Amino acid sequence: MLNFKAGDPRAFHDLFERYKKRVINYCFRFCGHRAIAEELAQETFLRVYKAAQRYRPKARFSTWLYKIATNVCLNEMRKPAYRRRLEALDEALDNEVHASATMDSFRPIHPDDQLLWQEQQQLVHRAIDRLPKKQRAALLLRVAGEFSYAEIAKQIHRPESHVKTLIHRGRMRLKAALAAYFGEKNA
Amino acid sequence: MHNPCKNEGLLSAFLDGELSEADTLALRRHLQSCDVCAQQLAEMAAADEAIHEMETIEPSADFERSFWRKVARWEKQQETRGWARFLRPTWRPALAAGVAAGLVAGVFILAGPGQGVSPDDRFVAENIEFLNDYELIRNLEILENWDALEAMKERS
């Protein structure tokens, strides 16, 4: 980032290449929709690009990047149009076959297993979607982003003790919401 | 599941590796003898695992192109804003002075010497030495004031 700030455009390309998939998937876990996740990831990188001249390396670059991504996701969720768009996309998704050549996850091969897997995926997305915003942010930063409590505290502007509580509560809620998922998985 | 030990907060921090060494050791010892806490820890770990196992997506074919289009649009806006800053109230007096100075300079250039010279005058100026040989040119002053001289003559 410092190289980009100093005027090397290749440095931004390198950062973009290195982090684009991680940021898209972080946003995807946040909102549960590919199209929205890509828009949020683009907005994140655009903000990084715009803020390059103001960048001060106070923490790891990834801490700063995920902080921006989290803000972008939370801001988007506050917009009234977001919920409407999410519902419209949910409806469209229910009507379409979940086949995408670009998905690289461990999708089962057998059709029955695929169906179960898709249902489980939706269940997890919905469980995350029901978490209060700050709990969701803290839990995803911890589990998906693998940041420490101290880093998360900086990212969401909360004391570390509060971060600990948010993660714990989010985890307990998720655990309760996924009881059905664990039942099916272990069946 | 109700946890009579009320250790959930500790279990969560333990799972995240955020407990001190002493607390970690103490909790490990407790977990060996408490099935409720051990079960709760396993469920919490399973919730984390569900997040880890969520499908991962690859960027779409248009992701990068679309991003750079947004960057280009922003840079263009910045360029336009660069000029537009001169229209801000703080710059207005300077802008007005500049425009006024430009107008004055323009008027001066258009109406200055050289612009109002007729082709005949220029021809005379360029060939004055040659034309001096002609009677007409030598008496040009008399010819130019001919009407006045005629009037004087009539009065006398």
Tens digits of residue pLDDT in A153-167:
999 999 999 999 999
Q: What is the pLDDT of residue A100?
A: 46
What value does the mean pLDDT take over residues B128-142?
A: 66
Report the pLDDT averaged over residues B109-135. Answer: 69
Confidence of residue B142 (pLDDT cuts 50, 70, 90): confident
Is A130 in the B-facing interface, judged by CB distances under 8 Å? Answer: no
Spatial CA neighbour of B38 closest among B8, B62, B60, B59 = B8
A17, pLDDT greater than 80: yes
The Cα of B55 is separated from the nearest Cα of chain A by a number of Å equal to: 5
At CB < 8 A and 24+ separation, what contacts does B77-82 make? none
What size, in residues, is chain A? 187
| Binary contact (B60, A45; C-beta < 8 A) | no
The terminus-to-terminus CA distance of chain B in angstroms comes to 138
Residue with tokens 């947004």: B70
CA-CA distance, A37 to B19, in Å (whole number)? 33
Kindly list the residues from chain B whose CB atom is less than 8 angstroms away from the CB atom of residue A181.
50
B57 touches chain A (CB under 8 A): yes
Collapse the DSSP code of B37 into the 3-class scheme (helix H, G, I; strand E, B; otherwise coil) and give the result.
helix
Contact A17, A72 (CB under 8 A): no
pLDDT single digits (tens) A114-138: 788 888 888 899 899 999 999 999 9
Q: Which of A72-86, A146-160, B83-97 has the highest mean pLDDT?
A: A146-160
In this prediction, residue B2 carries a pLDDT of 60
Tokens of residue B73, six digits: 């649009």
DSSP result, B52-120: HTS--BPPPTTHHHHHHHHHHHHHHHHHHHHHHGGGSGGGHHHHHHHHHHHHHHHHHHHHSTTTS--HH
- Under DSSP, the state recorded for A102 is T
pLDDT, tens digit, 9 for 90 and up, residues A23-76: 999 999 998 888 999 999 999 999 999 988 777 777 788 999 999 999 999 999
The more confident residue out of A81 and A136 is A136
The residue-averaged pLDDT of B97-104 equals 82
- pLDDT at position B90 is 67
| Higher per-residue pLDDT: A94 or B94 | B94
At B32 the pLDDT is: 93
Angle in degrees, CA A124, A127, A131, rounded to 5: 140
Residue of chain B with shortest Cα separation from A136: B51
Q: Which residue has the higher pLDDT, B1 or B88?
A: B88
Most A CBs within 10 Å, among B6, B7, B23, B56, to test the A interface: B56
Q: What ipTM was predicted for this assembly?
A: 0.81
pLDDT at A97 over 50: no
User: Which residue from B minimizes the CA distance to A149?
Assistant: B18
Residues 17-36 of B with CB under 8 A from A: 18
**For A18-43, b where at least 16 C-beta lie within 10 A, e where not — what string?**
ebbbbbbbbbbbbbbbbebbbbbbbb
Of the candidates A136, B22, B3, the one whose C-alpha atom is nearest the C-alpha of residue B14 is B22
- By C-alpha distance, the chain B residue nearest A24 is B59
Angle at A73 between CA A164 and CA A12, to 5 degrees: 105
